[in-house]
């Protein structure tokens, strides 16, 4: 430990920034200093007082009074913050967070706002921990409250974190600038000195100075605007509720808004750049509906008087849940009926549902530390589906939940996965927690738990959890403690009602007494003996997904659970055996329409089903987060059943250790399928095979033959239900990608008409991307699309065009797109990671994209930050389809060359695991796949 301390001290840059900063007439003024101000205290004998990444617990912030004055011309800001603190141990030091801020001065005042010292206090910096320490020569006494006053300044950030600049282009070509914030998870410290950890909740009173041509927004409404001087106004916002620093937000812009009011009186406003104002109306409708729904579902009033939703032109993630001022990427909030598809509409609806769910899950009740971020994100992801299903049932959002769980399974079946609740100490590790595991697996596990406990028990339990921990922080255990309480109360209440019935009606219904008691004793043991903590710890504290192997032996089902890994087989020495889950199984047989339930808590188990049963489907309702494998001909029976009557079973998820020819035989029934979900899942399954062989120039038309009937049924329109429209978009896109002559001919015809109309013709939104993609194959079409991309005011249309541009078979054009993305003018920097992914999906572009990442790695890390979702997605998507030993060696060599970064990223191991999985898949399945396809094409 002494060596560690010595090492820390040796790298610290201990500095004192004096108070020589010359204040302008607009600079924030400090509290009055006593007469005879002396020079700063010496720091020669001071060293930084704190060596840990987490702040000390003995100083608690209570209230921030924050004043900011951004300069949108000079792209900088000055400010001051007065933090009321509660001291719980005697100390001479206040340690808090600050990153990239210049500290002009720091003072400490007592409760009467009298300075504790007549000298400027020393400010020591620990850049590696993003902390500053302020030394008080007078001891701060335990049990007393003080005010810490700091003046500071900085440049507006160039990236997407902290207090950063954004710009947008008007239709006349002018460039307008705005300033916005994004603090989650650890970037509030880039905007003002603060205790930047989620447990340090406090109230915030914000003031913002601005020019009259701008407006300012923050978490709370403006209560007063005063004129500070000629041409300078100050907006004063109402004090906030108690919240974490990462939820503080402010925006200075010249946007327009639309406004409506919820049934409980909350004012909802949607803000966007003036020329995109007409694209805000759908979001307003959704936000009002969602707030009304959540207030009823959670039975807790939304605690703020307003909710603003604003579309920020430069935004790295999809959206951010700042309390009362949610910020969005434009594609996540704006909806243009002329260019936005039904999938775009669903996306906007789901993102708004997600962020507004956070106003309760995350904002009102916040995880204790970032290791449990899933308590925020998993719940918000799951509430997307619950809220959209309730408010917009026509969007069929339940279908998307299956895709979410399929994505989680794909990630979780690699050894590089992690537990839902994982250690996260430094900012890079914390950023990496915002991944598929926290969001998608978290949502799927909650879905399984909800169906296990029933809707009513689940809802009443989370309401209790929200009420108990409002304006506080919570951990996993707090949630599990809330749910059984509700469960026991529900069933105790039922039992009490039954007993009352027996007491008053026994003489009439005595003959039924035994049967009613039987009902009670059937129900009660499930809940009385359920250890929900033990059960859910198996899902949140260990990584992976269970594989249930099912064997039929006479009247019984024999069950075995193992961890499912796609990189090994049960016969391999590396097959894991030490994993055990408490699994709420469901199963269905041909003997009845009942879905049976069984809790499996051991490695092996058995269930009596009866001799008369012909077939059994485990995970019958598709709510379980586990993979099923049938041994001893079980899959053959399933395939026969589906061919004979494909409506007898719900969706079948084909994964695991089924030989590829058996898997392809099983999904052969899709020729008869009419439901969107299995069709799209099967299509994706076949397409993944095609992508493997496509790179080997083994272009096979089997997929076109397989889906011929489905393709021929499609129209080039926006007619039909949401499910039909989504299927049309996917099927026609694949058909044209595979050069299906009728598809390509129709797309070329539509593209020609669109070009000749000079923008007066609007393509059907669901097929526009496919039409653009075909049109982009010649030079004139590609250039025309790039021009339209540059001038379009619809982000939905621009997304479709960008995808189409990356479909070019000309590698020079693909390279140009990557360079435009890195430059950040024509293609915004926020879209670069998505652009790289699109190029990597193109068979002509996957090595091009990878080489681009290798060449520009340092620039990419500088622009997006190590550990961010953008860096993770760039690494994963550019290598996702690599499947040769040469590819594997090349990736390993690159990771070795960036060892300092690679060693800090969980994503690098995920990349290598996925690559090894692909290599083994090719080795095991390529020849079988070739033979199977050859046989099918006869």
Distance CA 352, CA 584 (A): 31
Distances (CA, A) of 199 to 56, 57, 59, 534, 760: 12, 10, 12, 26, 54
Between 667 and 537, the more confident residue is 537
- The structure tokens 């919570």 sit at 474
Closest CA to 198 of 429, 84, 369, 323: 369
* 96 and 66 part of one domain: yes
Radius of gyration from C-alpha coordinates of the chain: 30
83: Cα within 13 Å, side-chain hemisphere: 25
Query: CB–CB of 359/294 below 8 Å?
Result: yes
Q: Is residue 753's pLDDT more than 50? A: yes
Is the sign of the CA dihedral 253, 254, 260, 266 positive or negative?
A: positive
Range scoring the smallest mean pLDDT among 608-622, 694-708, 742-756: 694-708
- The pLDDT of residue 930: 77
User: What CATH number is associated with residue 578?
Assistant: 2.60.40.1910
pLDDT reading at 2 higher than 70: no
**Residues 194, 307 within the same domain:** no
Check residue 761 and give its pLDDT.
92
Summarize the chain as % helix, strand, coil (round to 5): 45, 20, 35
Residue 268 belongs to some domain of the structure: yes
Q: Which of 222, 254, 286 is the last residue of a domain?
A: 254
What pLDDT is attached to residue 669? 64
If you average pLDDT over residues 545-566, what whole number do you get? 93
What would the mean pLDDT of 572-582 be, rounded to a whole number?
80
What confidence score (pLDDT) does residue 13 get?
A: 33
The residue ranking higher by pLDDT, 34 or 892, is: 892
Residues 269 and 367 in one domain: yes
Confidence check: pLDDT of 88 > 70: yes
**Is a pLDDT exceeding 60 seen at residue 718?**
yes
Residues 188 and 248 in one domain: yes
Q: How far from 71 is each of 42, 76, 163, 730, 836, CA to CA, in Å?
A: 34, 5, 12, 47, 34
Residue at a domain's end among 443, 470, 497: 470
Phi-psi category of residue 633: left, alpha or beta, with phi > 0 → left and psi -120 to 50 → alpha: left
Q: Is residue 870 assigned to a domain?
A: no
Does the annotation flag 37 for ligand binding?
Answer: no
Among residues 184, 285, 355, 432, which one is catalytic? 355
Q: Mean pLDDT, to the nearest integer, of 417-433?
A: 96
Q: What is the pLDDT of residues 363-380, one digit of tens each?
A: 999 999 999 999 999 999
State residue 709's pLDDT score.
Answer: 86
**Do both 168 and 211 map to the same domain?**
yes
Task: Report if residue 298 sits inside a domain.
Answer: yes
Q: What residues contact 927, with CB distance under 8 A and at least 6 apart?
A: none
CA dihedral 207, 210, 215, 221 (to 10 degrees): 10
Confidence check: pLDDT of 511 > 70: no
Q: What is the 3-state secondary structure (H, E, C) of 291-336?
A: HHHHHHHHCCCCCCCEEEEEEECCCCCCEECCCCEEEEEHHHHCCC
In a domain, 829, yes or no: no
Q: What's the confidence (pLDDT) of residue 521?
A: 34
Cα separation of 626 and 629, whole Å? 10
Residue 193 within any structural domain of the chain = yes
Task: Give first-to-last CA distance, the chain, whole Å.
Answer: 72
Looking at 250-264, 520-534, 853-867, which range is the least confident one? Answer: 520-534
| Domain of residue 358, CATH code | 1.10.390.10
- Model pLDDT, residue 708: 87
Domain-embedded: residue 495: no
Alpha helices, DSSP H only, in 761-898? 768-775, 779-791, 795-805, 811-823, 832-841, 846-855, 857-864, 869-879, 885-897
pLDDT given at position 237 = 98
Q: Is the pLDDT of residue 3 over 80?
A: no
Match 């004192």 to its residue by tokens: 16
Token pair of 738, please? 């595979």
Instruction: State residue 39 phi and psi, 5-degree precision.
Output: -70, 160
The answer on pLDDT for 220 being more than 90 is yes
For residue 110, the SS3 value is: coil
What residues contact 404, with CB distance under 8 A and at least 6 apart? 381, 440, 443, 444
Q: What mean pLDDT do residues 22-45 have?
A: 43
The tally of CA atoms less than 13 A away on the side-chain side of residue 149 is: 18
The residue among 689, 227, 627 whose CA lies nearest residue 406 is 627
Q: What is the 3-state secondary structure (H, E, C) of 393-423?
A: HHHCCHHHHHHHHHHHHHHHCCCCCCCCCCC
320 plus 452 within the same structural domain: yes
Q: What is the pLDDT of residue 12?
A: 33
Examine the fold and report which residue of 199, 229, 254 is the final residue of a domain before the chain moves on: 254
pLDDT in tens, 381-409: 999 999 999 999 999 998 889 889 988 99
* Residue 355 among the catalytic residues: yes
Q: Where residue 654 falls among pLDDT bands split at 50, 70, 90?
A: very low
298 and 184 belong to one structural domain:
no
**What percentage of the chain carries pLDDT values higher than 90?**
72
pLDDT band for position 570 (50/70/90)?
A: low
How far apart (Å, rounded) are the C-alpha atoms in residues 286 and 288?
6
Residue 272 sits in the same domain as residue 236: no
* Rounded mean pLDDT, 257-268: 98
* DSSP secondary structure code for residue 121 in this structure: P
Per-residue model confidence (pLDDT) at position 520: 35
pLDDT at position 921: 84
pLDDT at 9 over 50: no
- Is the same domain home to 283 and 240? no
Other beta carbons less than 10 A from residue 131's beta carbon: 23
List b or e across 815-841, with b for residues whose CB sees 16 or more CB atoms inside 10 angstroms: bebbebbbeeeebbbbbbbbbbbbbbb
Q: Please state which of the ranges 4-18, 291-305, 470-484, 738-752 shows the lowest mean pLDDT.
A: 4-18
354 labelled ligand-binding:
yes
Contact 460, 486 (CB under 8 A): yes
> What DSSP line would sit under 624-670, residue for residue?
SSSEEEETTTHHHHHHHHHHH-TTSS------SS--HHHHHHHGGGG
Spatial distance between the Cα atoms of 814 and 54, rounded to a whole number of angstroms: 45
The whole-number pLDDT of residue 356 equals 98
* Per-residue pLDDT tens digits for 133-189: 999 999 999 999 999 999 999 999 999 999 999 999 998 889 999 999 999 999 999
Tell me, what CATH number does 116's domain have?
Answer: 2.60.40.1730
State whether 222 and 266 are in the same domain.
no
Answer yes or no: is 8 within a domain: no
* Entry pTM: 0.90
Q: Is 551 helix (H, G, I), strand (E, B) or coil?
A: strand
Looking at residue 21, what is its pLDDT?
34
Higher pLDDT, 236 or 688: 236
340 CA to centre of own chain: 22
Q: Closest Cα partner for 157 from 319, 314, 326, 317?
A: 314
Residue 266's closest CA among 293, 248, 242, 243?
A: 293
Among all chains, which residue has been given the structure tokens 């003031």?
207
343 Cα distance to chain centroid: 18
User: Which tens digit of pLDDT belongs to each residue from 775-814?
Assistant: 999 999 999 999 999 999 999 999 999 999 999 999 999 9
**402 in Cβ contact with 726 (< 8 Å):** no
Q: In this structure, is residue 911 part of a structural domain? A: no
Task: Name 168's bridge partners.
Answer: 176
145-155 and 76-87 as β-strands: parallel, antiparallel, unpaired? antiparallel
Same domain, 334 and 233: no
Q: Which domain holds residue 287?
A: 255-470
Q: Judge whether 300 and 281 are in contact, CB under 8 Å.
A: no
Six-digit token string for 354: 């997600």
Question: Does residue 732 surpass a pLDDT of 90?
Answer: yes
The whole-number pLDDT of residue 649 equals: 46
How far is the CA of 380 from the CAs of 376, 387, 438, in angstroms? 6, 10, 10
Contact yes or no for 90/139 (Cβ under 8 A)? yes
pLDDT in tens, 825-881: 999 999 999 999 999 999 999 999 999 999 999 999 999 999 999 999 999 999 998
Of the chain, the percentage scoring pLDDT greater than 70 comes to 83
Least confident of 191-205, 254-268, 508-522, 584-598: 508-522
- Average pLDDT across the chain, whole number: 87
The CB density around residue 445, as the number of other CB atoms within 10 Å, is: 20
Q: Domain total for the chain?
A: 3
- Which residue has better confidence, 612 or 839? 839
196 and 247 within one domain: yes
Crossing angle for the helix pair 832-841 and 811-823, to the nearest 10 degrees: 170
């Amino acid at each position: 430990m002494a060596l560690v301390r010595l090492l820390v001290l040796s790298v610290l840059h201990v500095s004192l920034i004096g108070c020589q900063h010359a204040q302008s007439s607009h600079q924030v003024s400090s509290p009055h200093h006593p007469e005879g101000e002396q020079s700063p205290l010496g720091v020669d004998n001071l060293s930084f007082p704190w060596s840990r990444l987490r702040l000390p617990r003995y100083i608690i912030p209570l209230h921030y009074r924050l004043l900011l004055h951004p300069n949108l011309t000079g792209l900088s800001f000055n400010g001051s913050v007065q933090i009321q603190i509660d001291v719980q141990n005697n100390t001479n030091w206040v340690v808090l967070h600050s990153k990239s801020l210049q500290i002009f001065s720091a003072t400490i005042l007592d409760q009467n706002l009298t300075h504790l010292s007549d000298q400027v206090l020393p400010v020591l910096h620990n850049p590696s921990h993003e902390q500053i320490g302020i030394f008080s020569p007078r001891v701060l006494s335990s049990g007393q409250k003080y005010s810490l006053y700091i003046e500071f300044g900085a440049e507006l950030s160039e990236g997407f974190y902290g207090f950063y600049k954004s710009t947008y282009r008007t239709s006349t070509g002018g460039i307008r600038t705005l300033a916005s914030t994004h603090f989650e998870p650890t970037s509030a410290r880039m905007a003002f000195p603060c205790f930047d950890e989620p447990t340090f909740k406090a109230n915030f009173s914000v003031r913002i100075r601005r020019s009259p041509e701008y407006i300012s927004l923050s978490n709370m409404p403006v209560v007063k605007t005063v004129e500070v001087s000629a041409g300078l106004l100050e907006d004063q916002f109402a004090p906030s509720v108690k919240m974490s620093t990462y939820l503080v937000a402010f925006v200075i812009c010249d946007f327009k808004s639309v406004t409506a009011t919820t049934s409980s009186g909350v004012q909802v406003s949607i803000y966007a750049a003036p020329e995109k104002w007409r694209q805000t109306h759908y979001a307003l409708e959704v936000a009002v509906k969602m707030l009304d729904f959540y207030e009823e579902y959670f039975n807790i009033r939304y605690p703020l008087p307003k909710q603003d939703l604003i579309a920020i032109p430069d935004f790295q993630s999809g959206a951010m849940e700042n309390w009362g001022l949610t910020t969005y990427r434009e594609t996540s909030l704006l909806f243009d009926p002329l260019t936005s598809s039904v999938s775009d509409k669903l996306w906007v609806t789901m993102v708004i549902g997600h962020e507004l769910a956070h106003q309760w899950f995350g904002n009102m009740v916040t995880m204790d530390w970032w290791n449990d971020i899933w308590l925020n994100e998993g719940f918000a992801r799951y509430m997307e589906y619950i809220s959209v299903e309730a408010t917009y049932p026509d969007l069929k959002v339940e279908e998307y939940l299956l895709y979410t769980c399929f994505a989680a399974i794909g990630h979780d079946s690699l050894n590089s996965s992690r537990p839902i609740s994982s250690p996260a100490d430094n900012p890079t590790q914390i950023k990496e927690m915002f991944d598929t595991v926290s969001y998608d697996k978290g949502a799927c596990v909650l879905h399984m738990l909800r169906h296990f406990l029933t809707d009513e028990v689940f809802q009443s339990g989370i309401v209790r959890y929200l009420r108990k921990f409002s304006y506080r922080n919570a951990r996993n255990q707090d949630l599990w403690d809330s749910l059984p309480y509700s469960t026991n109360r529900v069933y105790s209440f039922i039992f009490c009602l039954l007993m009352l019935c027996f007491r008053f009606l026994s003489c009439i219904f005595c003959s039924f007494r035994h049967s009613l008691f039987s009902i009670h004793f059937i129900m009660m043991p499930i809940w009385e003996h359920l250890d929900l903590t033990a059960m859910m710890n198996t899902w949140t504290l260990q990584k992976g997904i269970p594989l249930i192997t099912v064997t039929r032996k006479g009247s019984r089902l024999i069950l075995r659970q193992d961890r499912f890994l796609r990189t090994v087989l049960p016969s391999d020495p590396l097959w894991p055996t030490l994993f055990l889950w408490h699994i709420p199984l469901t199963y269905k047989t041909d003997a009845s329409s009942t879905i049976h339930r069984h809790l499996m808590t051991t490695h092996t188990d058995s269930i009596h089903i009866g001799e008369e049963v012909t077939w059994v489907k485990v995970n019958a309702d598709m709510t379980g987060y586990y993979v099923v494998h049938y041994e001893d001909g079980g899959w053959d029976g399933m395939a026969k059943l589906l061919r004979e009557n494909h409506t007898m079973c719900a969706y079948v998820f084909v994964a695991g250790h089924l030989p590829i020819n058996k898997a392809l035989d099983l999904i052969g029934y899709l020729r008869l399928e009419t439901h969107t979900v299995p069709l799209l899942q099967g299509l994706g399954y076949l397409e993944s095979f095609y992508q493997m062989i496509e790179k080997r120039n083994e272009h096979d038309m089997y997929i076109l033959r397989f889906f011929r009937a489905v393709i021929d049924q499609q129209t080039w329109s926006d007619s039909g239900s949401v499910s039909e429209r989504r299927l049309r978009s996917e099927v026609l896109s694949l058909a044209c990608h595979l050069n299906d002559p009728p598809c390509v001919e129709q797309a070329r015809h539509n593209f020609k008409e669109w070009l000749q109309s000079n923008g007066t013709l609007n393509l059907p939104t669901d097929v526009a991307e496919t039409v653009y993609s075909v049109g982009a194959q010649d030079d004139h079409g590609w250039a025309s699309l790039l021009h339209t991309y540059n001038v379009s005011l619809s982000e939905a249309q621009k997304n479709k065009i960008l995808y189409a541009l990356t479909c070019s078979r000309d590698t020079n054009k693909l390279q140009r797109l990557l360079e435009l993305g890195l430059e950040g003018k024509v293609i915004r920097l926020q879209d670069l990671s998505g652009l790289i992914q699109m190029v990597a999906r193109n068979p002509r572009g996957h090595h091009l994209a990878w080489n681009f990442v290798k060449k520009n790695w340092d620039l990419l890390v500088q622009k997006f930050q190590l550990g961010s979702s953008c860096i993770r997605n760039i690494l994963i998507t550019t290598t996702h389809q690599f499947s040769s030993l040469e590819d594997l060696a090349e990736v390993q060599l690159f990771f070795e060359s960036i060892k300092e970064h690679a060693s800090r990223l969980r994503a690098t191991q995920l990349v290598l695991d996925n690559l090894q999985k692909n290599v083994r898949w090719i080795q095991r399945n390529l020849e079988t796949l070739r033979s199977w396809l050859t046989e099918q094409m006869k």
